[in-house]
Amino acid sequence: MRIWALTESGQMFQVKFKVPRTIFINSRVVCNEQEFKKATKLLPRNRKVYNLYEWEKSEDVFLEKFHNLHYHHLLNHNVEGVYETKLPLLFKAVMDLGCLVKPKYSVIPRNEQALGRTYKMHEFDLRTAI
């Protein structure tokens, strides 16, 4: 995804921005797979949370592995539901970060060019005012 950045000096430029795809699986049985992290969330329509797991991957890996995940987890009778599979990545970025962000200078390497790199969501913080 590409976003527009405004610098403190008033210049605008386009940068690449990578938002990971995150889905949540509510399983009736405990899952011991390394790929799934235990999560705590409120589910839509006040659904009961059994064992809620988070699966976060890049969009490319998600599209590649979702077919196998579909048959293994979605069609399993022990799975109550799978959530946020169709959430647009731009919407996820705005909901998680907001519309105004600032870079975390401790995370971004100093020797890299700002315009040539792809930024990740964890490299930004919410900024409340200009």
pLDDT, tens digit (0-9, with 9 covering 90-100), for 21-75: 999 999 999 988 888 899 999 999 999 999 999 999 888 888 887 777 666 666 7
CB half-sphere exposure, 29, CA atoms < 13 A = 8
Q: How many CB atoms lie within 10 A of CB 93?
A: 20
Token couple for 104: 């975390």
Each residue's pLDDT tens digit, 65-83 = 777 766 666 678 888 888 9
50 secondary structure, DSSP code: S
Q: Measured on CA atoms in the order 23, 98, 88, 11, is the torsion positive or negative?
A: negative
Amino acid, single-letter form, for residue 90:
L
pTM of the model: 0.77
3-class DSSP state for residue 63? helix
CA distance 24 to 42: 11
